[in-house]
């Protein structure tokens, strides 16, 4: 900010240049005063007040009119709106700079984070909060997934279990693996940590998610096989009932037996395998009755 702004300088210059009083000596004084004022207009610093302007001008040229100095002093003071704008601009710029620095400090690079963790751990608060949130969510979702997947009683349980496994994997992916060995003691001092952020626990959760992914894959395959076989079984039954010849009925029974054999191959450890046992008992009973009826 200039010590004397252009508007104030214009007021003072107009008065000096319009003043024709006195002899050559007074004209020289007014010219030197104007040069001094122009020099102040080039200087950076706090704006000159009315008292400062009077001291500068009247010490050199006592005949200068006081009302003109007062008007120039008012014009030289920055407006409240401009002052507020400058202040807000500074605050915003400072905030942006701090935000940018915090963002850089929380990047997943040990060479950046480790020195900050030692000397200014509060700057890593966003990372600690994120780690805490993702850790708690991952552990809770792994436990929920385990109940749904390993103790499923219906396809709906498996479907919900798949959703929970996906969510757990997402939160595990958000955890900075390279940072697992670091225990943020200062953060835990202020906010309290009920967790131990260790490689072992992370690996256990990740392996649990991996095992459930395998189980869900097997369950999906078994369920698809069951749906396909049941469709073939129903088709064979319908073909047998609609057969118009002994040969057609025999072919239907062969397809029926083939479907029964395939039902027995569905893995028993899967939910689809348990359901297959129920269908298998009914299919065998109806098959024996159909075979006996055809032979008679």
Element at 169 (helix H, strand E): helix 155-174
Residue 85 has pLDDT above 50, yes or no: no
In a domain, 1, yes or no: no
In a domain, 147, yes or no: no
Nearest Cα to Cα of residue 269 among 200, 214, 218, 220: 218
Lowest mean pLDDT among 170-174, 189-193, 210-214, 256-260: 189-193
Could you tell me the residue range of the domain that residue 284 belongs to?
217-295
What is the pTM assigned to this prediction? 0.51
In a domain, 258, yes or no: yes
In a domain, 202, yes or no: no
Choosing from 33, 63, 78, the residue where a domain stops is 78
By percentage, how much of the chain surpasses pLDDT 70?
76
In a domain, 107, yes or no: no
Q: Give CA–CA dist 71/57, Å, rounded.
A: 14
Lowest mean pLDDT among 15-24, 87-96, 220-229: 87-96
By percentage, how much of the chain surpasses pLDDT 90?
9
Please tell me the total count of domains within the chain. Answer: 2
Q: Which residues contact 186 (CB under 8 A, 6 or more apart)?
A: 121, 122
Choosing from 63, 78, 93, the residue where a domain stops is 78
Residue 229 has pLDDT above 50, yes or no: yes
Residue 39 has pLDDT above 50, yes or no: yes
Crossing angle of the two packed helices 155-174 and 125-150, in degrees rounded to 10 = 160
In a domain, 54, yes or no: yes
Residue 123 has pLDDT above 80, yes or no: no
In a domain, 133, yes or no: no
DSSP secondary structure letters along 143-159: HHHHHHHHT--SHHHHH
| pLDDT value, residue 187 | 52
Choosing from 20, 47, 78, the residue where a domain stops is 78
DSSP structural state of residue 55: H
Q: Give CA–CA dist 179/114, Å, rounded.
A: 10
Mean pLDDT of the chain: 79
In a domain, 263, yes or no: yes
> Which tops the pLDDT comparison, 288 or 182?
288
Q: Which residues contact 29 (CB under 8 A, 6 or more apart)?
A: 60, 61
Residue 290 has pLDDT above 80, yes or no: yes
Residue 192 has pLDDT above 80, yes or no: no
């Amino acid at each position: 900010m200039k010590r004397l702004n252009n508007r104030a300088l214009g007021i003072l210059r107009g008065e000096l240049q319009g003043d024709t009083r006195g002899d050559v000596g007074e004209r020289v004084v007014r010219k030197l005063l104007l040069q001094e004022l122009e020099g102040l207009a080039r200087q950076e610093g706090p704006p000159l007040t009315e008292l400062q302007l009077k001291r500068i001008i009247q010490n050199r040229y006592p005949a200068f009119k006081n009302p003109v100095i007062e008007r120039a002093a008012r014009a030289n003071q920055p407006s409240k709106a401009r002052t507020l704008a400058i202040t807000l601009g500074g605050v915003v710029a400072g905030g942006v700079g701090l935000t940018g620095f915090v963002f850089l400090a929380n990047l997943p690079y040990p060479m950046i984070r480790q020195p900050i963790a030692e000397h200014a751990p509060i700057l890593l608060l966003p990372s600690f909060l994120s780690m805490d949130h993702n850790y708690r969510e991952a552990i809770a979702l792994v436990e929920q997934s385990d109940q749904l997947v390993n103790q499923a009683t219906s396809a709906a349980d498996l479907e919900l279990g798949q959703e929970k496994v996906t969510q757990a994997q997402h939160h595990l992916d958000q955890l900075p693996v390279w940072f697992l060995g670091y225990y943020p003691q200062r953060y835990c001092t202020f906010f309290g940590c009920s967790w131990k952020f260790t490689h072992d626990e992370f690996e256990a959760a990740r392996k649990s998610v991996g095992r459930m992914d395998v189980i869900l894959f097997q369950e999906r395959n078994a369920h698809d096989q069951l749906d396909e076989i049941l469709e073939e079984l129903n088709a064979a039954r319908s073909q047998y009932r609609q057969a118009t010849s002994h040969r057609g009925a025999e072919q239907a029974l062969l397809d029926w037996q083939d479907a029964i054999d395939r039902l027995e191959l569905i893995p028993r450890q899967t939910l689809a395998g348990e359901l297959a046992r129920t269908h298998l008992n009914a299919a065998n009973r109806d098959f024996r009755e159909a075979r006996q009826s055809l032979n008679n």
